[in-house]
Amino acid sequence: MPKIKRDDELSNTDFIESLDRGLRVIEQFGADTRAMTLSDVAKATDLPRATARRILFTLERRGYVSSDGKMFALTPKVLTLAGSYMTSNQIVTILQPVLDQVSNAAQEISSLAVLLGPEVVFVARASPARVFSSGIDLGYRLPAYCSSVGRAMLGRYSNEELDKTISEMTLTAMTPFTLTDKEAVKAAIIVDREKGYSLVDREAEPGFRSISVPVRRYDGTIVAAINIGAHVDRVSTGEMIDRFLPLLREAAATVKPLLL
């Protein structure tokens, strides 16, 4: 079987520009742009109008986009792409039952996230039987530098690698409590790495605090992070450390031998 090349090994002939453009179009549809006109898509993707039109019509024919003649929107078929990831990803498959156990024990939402560039993406989630409303759903993204799952995963880098990674990030205040000084963020990640967990208090989202531990595969490499989050009015930082941290640590230790 041919070996898949890394990004730095790819030549111009290996890159399929039309596929890249099609994916860029799909990525433009989100919570803030549920439906878009042809002009909207062309502008958002920086593509010629004629190119955007061909891509949209191709996606429509394949069933990934619907149109009323003026507005274009994604269809539920796009979920099959995410579903393929969920069912084929070893981390999600192994962690989901463990997340369910953690969530039931804590009676709080528990989530699994992976690192994607400067952001974290939530790829699995468990909630207790009681009704609970939360903005963190599958596919939800947060900046890595100010989220507990992000800082837990950034701890996989050496100090030198962390310097480079943080220097390339744009640190924006998400709330009045967000750390935006790069040296302070780096110091927080190093401290969290030594502790083995990260607790972020109202930095990523107003009124919300979260505690996370890194998920390591069999050789010790950090591949994800799991967390429990709650509103500040309901759960104190002390309770997170005393009650939630042991649950998360036990879960991470349980799956470590199973992750290859």
Query: pTM for the complete prediction?
Result: 0.75
Contact in structure between 210 and 187 (CB atoms under 8 Å)? no
Confidence tier at 32 by pLDDT (50, 70, 90): low
Residues 6+ apart with CB under 8 A from 48: 42
CA 236 to chain centre: 25
Contact in structure between 110 and 227 (CB atoms under 8 Å)? yes
In the chain the domains, ranked by start, together with CATH numbers, are 7-77 (1.10.10.10), 89-258 (3.30.450.40)
Whole-number percent of the chain with pLDDT over 90: 69
Q: Over the Cα atoms of the chain, what is R_g?
A: 20
For residues 91 and 87, give the distance between their C-alpha atoms in angstroms, rounded to a whole number: 10
pLDDT digits (tens, 9 = 90+) for 198-240: 999 999 999 999 999 999 999 999 999 999 999 999 999 999 9
Examine the pLDDT at 1 and tell me if it is beyond 80: no
pLDDT digits (tens, 9 = 90+) for 115-167: 999 999 999 999 886 544 444 567 788 999 999 999 999 999 999 999 999 99
| pLDDT in the model for residue 38 | 92
Residues 6+ apart with CB under 8 A from 167: 182
| pLDDT in the model for residue 5 | 47
Residues 6+ apart with CB under 8 A from 14: 5
